[in-house]
Chain A
Amino acid sequence: NAGVTQTPKFQVLKTGQSMTLQCAQDMNHEYMSWYRQDPGMGLRLIHYSVGAGITDQGEVPNGYNVSRSTTEDFPLRLLSAAPSQTSVYFCASSYSGRHGSGYTFGSGTRLTVV
Protein backbone atom coordinates (compact mmCIF):
# COMPACT_ATOMS: atom_id res chain seq x y z
CA ASN A 1 0.00 0.00 0.00
CA ALA A 2 1.96 3.02 -1.29
CA GLY A 3 -0.47 5.73 -0.11
CA VAL A 4 -0.03 8.98 -2.05
CA THR A 5 2.83 9.09 -4.53
CA GLN A 6 4.11 12.34 -5.98
CA THR A 7 6.58 12.68 -8.82
CA PRO A 8 9.02 14.24 -9.38
CA LYS A 9 10.47 15.07 -5.94
CA PHE A 10 12.51 17.99 -7.29
CA GLN A 11 12.20 20.07 -10.45
CA VAL A 12 13.83 23.18 -11.85
CA LEU A 13 11.98 25.01 -14.62
CA LYS A 14 12.75 28.04 -16.68
CA THR A 15 10.22 30.85 -16.77
CA GLY A 16 7.59 30.12 -19.39
CA GLN A 17 8.04 26.35 -19.44
CA SER A 18 5.15 24.05 -18.70
CA MET A 19 5.11 20.82 -16.74
CA THR A 20 2.87 18.34 -14.98
CA LEU A 21 3.22 17.30 -11.36
CA GLN A 22 1.97 13.78 -10.91
CA CYS A 23 -0.08 12.49 -7.99
CA ALA A 24 -1.42 8.97 -7.58
CA GLN A 25 -3.13 7.22 -4.68
CA ASP A 26 -3.99 3.56 -4.22
CA MET A 27 -6.47 3.85 -1.34
CA ASN A 28 -9.59 4.33 -3.48
CA HIS A 29 -10.06 7.79 -1.98
CA GLU A 30 -12.65 9.94 -3.69
CA TYR A 31 -11.25 13.23 -2.47
CA MET A 32 -7.96 14.64 -3.74
CA SER A 33 -6.41 18.08 -3.48
CA TRP A 34 -3.31 20.09 -4.28
CA TYR A 35 -1.68 22.55 -1.89
CA ARG A 36 1.36 24.75 -2.13
CA GLN A 37 3.50 25.57 0.86
CA ASP A 38 5.56 28.72 1.03
CA PRO A 39 7.68 29.88 4.01
CA GLY A 40 5.52 31.57 6.62
CA MET A 41 2.34 31.01 4.60
CA GLY A 42 1.21 27.57 5.68
CA LEU A 43 -0.58 25.49 3.06
CA ARG A 44 -2.78 27.11 0.47
CA LEU A 45 -5.29 25.17 -1.61
CA ILE A 46 -4.81 25.26 -5.38
CA HIS A 47 -7.43 22.84 -6.76
CA TYR A 48 -9.40 19.92 -5.43
CA SER A 49 -11.59 17.07 -6.67
CA VAL A 50 -14.44 15.22 -4.98
CA GLY A 51 -14.41 12.40 -7.50
CA ALA A 52 -13.49 11.37 -11.03
CA GLY A 53 -14.59 14.00 -13.51
CA ILE A 54 -15.21 16.68 -10.86
CA THR A 55 -12.74 19.43 -10.00
CA ASP A 56 -12.98 22.83 -8.38
CA GLN A 57 -10.76 25.80 -7.65
CA GLY A 58 -9.18 26.58 -4.33
CA GLU A 59 -7.66 29.75 -2.94
CA VAL A 60 -4.79 30.15 -5.44
CA PRO A 61 -5.78 28.48 -8.76
CA ASN A 62 -4.30 30.95 -11.24
CA GLY A 63 -1.60 29.47 -13.45
CA TYR A 64 -2.59 25.87 -12.68
CA ASN A 65 -4.87 23.32 -14.34
CA VAL A 66 -6.11 19.98 -13.09
CA SER A 67 -8.15 17.07 -14.39
CA ARG A 68 -9.44 13.90 -12.75
CA SER A 69 -10.06 11.20 -15.32
CA THR A 70 -9.58 8.32 -12.85
CA THR A 71 -10.05 7.88 -9.11
CA GLU A 72 -6.33 7.17 -8.67
CA ASP A 73 -4.68 10.10 -10.47
CA PHE A 74 -4.86 13.86 -10.02
CA PRO A 75 -2.15 15.64 -12.05
CA LEU A 76 -1.41 19.34 -11.62
CA ARG A 77 -0.34 21.25 -14.71
CA LEU A 78 1.65 24.45 -14.69
CA LEU A 79 0.77 26.22 -17.91
CA SER A 80 3.58 28.78 -18.13
CA ALA A 81 5.87 28.69 -15.12
CA ALA A 82 6.64 31.92 -13.27
CA PRO A 83 9.13 32.57 -10.43
CA SER A 84 6.13 33.16 -8.12
CA GLN A 85 5.30 29.47 -8.53
CA THR A 86 8.52 28.46 -6.81
CA SER A 87 7.18 26.45 -3.90
CA VAL A 88 6.73 23.01 -2.39
CA TYR A 89 3.63 21.28 -3.75
CA PHE A 90 1.70 18.68 -1.80
CA CYS A 91 -0.99 16.34 -3.02
CA ALA A 92 -3.41 14.86 -0.50
CA SER A 93 -6.30 12.41 -0.57
CA SER A 94 -9.09 11.33 1.77
CA TYR A 95 -12.40 9.56 1.94
CA SER A 96 -15.12 12.00 1.09
CA GLY A 97 -18.25 12.24 3.09
CA ARG A 98 -20.37 14.36 5.32
CA HIS A 99 -18.43 13.55 8.46
CA GLY A 100 -15.00 14.30 7.07
CA SER A 101 -11.82 12.29 7.48
CA GLY A 102 -8.10 12.84 7.79
CA TYR A 103 -5.97 13.52 4.75
CA THR A 104 -3.07 11.39 3.57
CA PHE A 105 -0.31 13.55 2.11
CA GLY A 106 2.35 12.79 -0.44
CA SER A 107 5.98 13.63 0.29
CA GLY A 108 5.90 16.75 -1.89
CA THR A 109 7.47 18.18 -5.04
CA ARG A 110 9.97 20.98 -4.56
CA LEU A 111 9.73 23.25 -7.60
CA THR A 112 12.09 26.07 -8.47
CA VAL A 113 11.33 28.41 -11.36
CA VAL A 114 14.29 30.46 -12.58
Chain B
Amino acid sequence: SQQGEEDPQALSIQEGENATMNCSYKTSINNLQWYRQNSGRGLVHLILIRSNEREKHSGRLRVTLDTSKKSSSLLITASRAADTASYFCATAGHSGNTPLVFGKGTRLSVIA
Protein backbone atom coordinates (compact mmCIF):
# COMPACT_ATOMS: atom_id res chain seq x y z
CA SER B 1 0.00 0.00 0.00
CA GLN B 2 1.12 3.58 -0.63
CA GLN B 3 3.09 5.12 2.22
CA GLY B 4 3.53 8.61 0.82
CA GLU B 5 0.70 10.79 -0.38
CA GLU B 6 1.59 13.81 -2.49
CA ASP B 7 -0.44 16.99 -2.56
CA PRO B 8 -1.56 18.51 -4.85
CA GLN B 9 -2.12 15.84 -7.50
CA ALA B 10 -1.52 18.41 -10.21
CA LEU B 11 0.00 21.90 -10.23
CA SER B 12 0.24 24.44 -13.03
CA ILE B 13 2.40 27.56 -12.70
CA GLN B 14 4.07 30.20 -14.83
CA GLU B 15 7.76 30.08 -15.60
CA GLY B 16 9.73 31.92 -12.93
CA GLU B 17 7.28 31.14 -10.14
CA ASN B 18 8.04 28.80 -7.25
CA ALA B 19 6.43 25.37 -7.06
CA THR B 20 5.71 23.64 -3.76
CA MET B 21 4.71 20.00 -3.45
CA ASN B 22 3.87 18.23 -0.23
CA CYS B 23 4.16 14.63 0.90
CA SER B 24 2.60 12.99 3.93
CA TYR B 25 3.43 9.51 5.16
CA LYS B 26 2.13 7.13 7.78
CA THR B 27 4.91 5.27 9.59
CA SER B 28 8.35 6.06 10.98
CA ILE B 29 11.07 6.41 8.39
CA ASN B 30 14.85 6.25 8.01
CA ASN B 31 14.86 8.67 5.09
CA LEU B 32 12.60 10.31 2.53
CA GLN B 33 13.51 10.83 -1.10
CA TRP B 34 12.16 12.88 -3.99
CA TYR B 35 12.23 11.77 -7.61
CA ARG B 36 11.34 13.37 -10.93
CA GLN B 37 9.83 11.56 -13.89
CA ASN B 38 9.60 13.12 -17.32
CA SER B 39 6.85 11.78 -19.54
CA GLY B 40 7.63 8.28 -20.78
CA ARG B 41 10.95 8.08 -18.94
CA GLY B 42 12.36 6.45 -15.84
CA LEU B 43 12.55 8.17 -12.47
CA VAL B 44 15.51 10.33 -11.56
CA HIS B 45 16.66 10.74 -7.98
CA LEU B 46 16.64 14.38 -6.84
CA ILE B 47 17.38 14.50 -3.14
CA LEU B 48 17.44 12.37 0.02
CA ILE B 49 16.73 13.72 3.49
CA ARG B 50 17.34 11.62 6.59
CA SER B 51 15.00 11.43 9.55
CA ASN B 52 17.38 13.48 11.71
CA GLU B 53 17.57 16.31 9.16
CA ARG B 54 15.05 19.13 8.86
CA GLU B 55 16.05 20.86 5.64
CA LYS B 56 18.22 20.19 2.65
CA HIS B 57 19.12 22.16 -0.47
CA SER B 58 20.31 21.15 -3.91
CA GLY B 59 20.52 23.89 -6.52
CA ARG B 60 16.99 25.27 -6.97
CA LEU B 61 15.51 22.51 -4.81
CA ARG B 62 14.71 22.84 -1.14
CA VAL B 63 13.32 19.93 0.85
CA THR B 64 11.98 20.07 4.38
CA LEU B 65 11.06 17.22 6.67
CA ASP B 66 8.85 17.36 9.75
CA THR B 67 8.88 13.95 11.39
CA SER B 68 6.43 15.04 14.10
CA LYS B 69 3.83 15.74 11.40
CA LYS B 70 5.07 12.95 9.14
CA SER B 71 5.33 15.33 6.23
CA SER B 72 7.81 16.72 3.73
CA SER B 73 7.76 19.45 1.15
CA LEU B 74 9.69 20.00 -2.06
CA LEU B 75 10.16 23.58 -3.23
CA ILE B 76 11.42 24.34 -6.72
CA THR B 77 12.42 27.97 -7.02
CA ALA B 78 12.37 30.04 -10.22
CA SER B 79 10.74 27.23 -12.18
CA ARG B 80 11.52 26.59 -15.83
CA ALA B 81 9.56 24.89 -18.59
CA ALA B 82 12.07 22.02 -18.32
CA ASP B 83 10.85 21.37 -14.75
CA THR B 84 7.57 20.09 -16.21
CA ALA B 85 7.37 16.49 -14.94
CA SER B 86 5.82 14.28 -12.28
CA TYR B 87 7.40 14.40 -8.85
CA PHE B 88 7.27 11.51 -6.40
CA CYS B 89 8.18 11.19 -2.77
CA ALA B 90 9.40 7.84 -1.50
CA THR B 91 10.06 6.64 2.03
CA ALA B 92 12.46 4.08 3.43
CA GLY B 93 11.70 2.26 6.67
CA HIS B 94 13.77 2.35 9.82
CA SER B 95 16.56 0.01 8.82
CA GLY B 96 17.27 2.02 5.68
CA ASN B 97 17.63 -1.27 3.87
CA THR B 98 13.93 -1.76 3.29
CA PRO B 99 12.64 -1.02 -0.20
CA LEU B 100 11.35 2.43 -1.06
CA VAL B 101 7.61 2.95 -1.00
CA PHE B 102 6.41 5.57 -3.46
CA GLY B 103 3.48 7.95 -3.43
CA LYS B 104 1.26 8.60 -6.43
CA GLY B 105 3.04 11.76 -7.47
CA THR B 106 2.35 15.40 -8.31
CA ARG B 107 2.13 16.44 -11.97
CA LEU B 108 3.81 19.80 -12.39
CA SER B 109 3.26 21.89 -15.51
CA VAL B 110 5.40 24.98 -15.96
CA ILE B 111 4.03 27.28 -18.63
CA ALA B 112 6.48 29.43 -20.56
User: Which chain A residues have a beta carbon within 8 Å of chain B's beta carbons?
Assistant: 4, 31, 33, 35, 40-45, 48, 50, 58-59, 90, 92, 96-108
Contacts and interface: CB of A to CB of B under 8 A. Distances in A.
Contacts of B90: 103
Contact of B102 (A40, A43, A101, A106): A43
Interface of B: 1-2, 30-31, 33, 35, 41-45, 48, 50, 88, 90, 92, 95-97, 99-105
Contacts of A50: 97
Contacts of B1: 59
A48 B88 contact: no
B104 A42 contact: yes
B30 A100 contact: yes
B104 A103 contact: no
A62 B71 CA distance: 31
Given A59-B1, A104-B45, A107-B41, A98 B97 contact: yes
Given A99-B31, A99-B50, A43 B88 contact: yes
Which 10 A-B pairs rank lowest in CB-CB distance, beginning with the nearest? A102-B45, A105-B42, A42-B104, A100-B96, A43-B102, A100-B31, A105-B43, A48-B99, A98-B96, A100-B92
A48 B97 CA distance: 11
B91 to A, nearest CB: 10
B104 A40 contact: yes
Contacts of A42: 2, 88, 102-105
B83 to A, nearest CB: 19
Contacts of B102: 35, 42-44
